Structure 1
Amino acid sequence: MSDLQSEQDRSYRLPRIVPPRREGEPPKNANGKLICIVDTRCDHLTFERKCEWSKHMDKHDRPYKCSYPQCSKLQGFTYSGGLLRHEREVHKKHGGPRESLMCPYKDCKRSTGAGFTRKENLNEHLRRVHRRAEDEHPSKSDDPSVLDQDDPAEAQGEDESDLLLGKRKRDATMNEAATTSYGVSEDELRDEVKRLRRENEEQKRQNAEKDAKIEYLEATIRHFAGQPR
């Protein structure tokens, strides 16, 4: 670790990561449900518990900020794990990044140097760069020296990962470094999917309650309509 990096670590200690506190009570609708008033696109959302509302608000506020001056313009993170990973991979804190993963293609510039900090980024690189090259030059795939893979099971697993990653829509102009350090993380995407599923289930539950209430009221009306005056 360089003297400059050591000095930075002494000057910018990792703050205690705690959930952000918001002043006042969350807004509620006429039914007493917690709601979001930040964005009109969230008008249809309601929340039963304050913790669910707070987690949603983190998507708007992105409260977990990097304290390093060079990251002052960087958008914050929606959860503490994203900030910790950023500090580990970009600022070499918390033990620094994990061992770099190198591209197995020996003639590739990414086979040496910084490499990749995440396996999914390496797989995406293989899919975008080398699979395209293999499609254009099929003979390369027959050369056993192209890939340095000792474990057939591991190779098969990586192939399956490539197929899964191939189904994901990625911005073709975003390079791997930007995805690793500043892009939306896979964990954040998973959290967003879970949140949307919860909201969908909540919406279904509310609709079912409304249907049941309407049916009850209609039955009550029919009951009283059938009674003699």
Structure 2
Amino acid sequence: MIDLYFAATPNGLKAKLFLEEAQLPYRAIPISLSKGEQFRPEFLAISPNNKIPAIVDHQPADGGAPVTLFESGAIMLYLAEKTGRLMPSDVRGRAEVLQWLFWQVAGLGPMAGQIGHFNSYAPEKVPYAIDRYTRETSRLYGVLNQRLADRDFIAGEFSIADIACYPWIVPHAAHGQNLDNFPHLKRWFETMAARPATLRTYEGVEDTYTPGQQSLSEQERRVLFGQGEASTRP
């Protein structure tokens, strides 16, 4: 059994999507980010970066004590290696998947997250930031669109690269992006959206990145966006 510490953010959803695709038994443990549950000492013991997702694998491959992991990319790689699924075993295929997994973690996620924040959560409009992150996210969408021009999935075969990227394309409207401008990406996106595991993952999930300012109290805003070094202390 795997415990998944979860909130319905793109990173949380990609961990859940892997578990659904691999049909691994798991227990979803919701973490209310706006209430600050990610700063509780028991959660910091699992995720010292006070971010979701995090997992506890109670049945690791070595048969030893439970394994705890934070960081969504590390979770994806760990689960792929544990199950022997959604990651090629050959050197070249593995390299293809890994580079696109890290591309998502280092590029698509952070840049899309920034424009999502400035479009949906910032208390006032910051034109420079909106322009900067909209343009960079558009460039990254273009990279992915070009990659998908001659293949069904990002690394050829369906893999954790697709699972990692899809939840970051779901809120494309909040990113200021029109998928009609990226036809190969749109075709892939529609294919991903129709997968049974995707439907299960997103059942009942509300879009937390709706364009326009989200209604947050000052307390919720401080919890979500105003933390400093002290918040990492158990």
TM-score normalised by structure 1 residue count: 0.23
| Bigger strand fraction | 2
Higher relative contact order (CA 8 A, sep 6+): 2
TM-score normalised by structure 2 residue count: 0.23
* Max Rg structure: 1
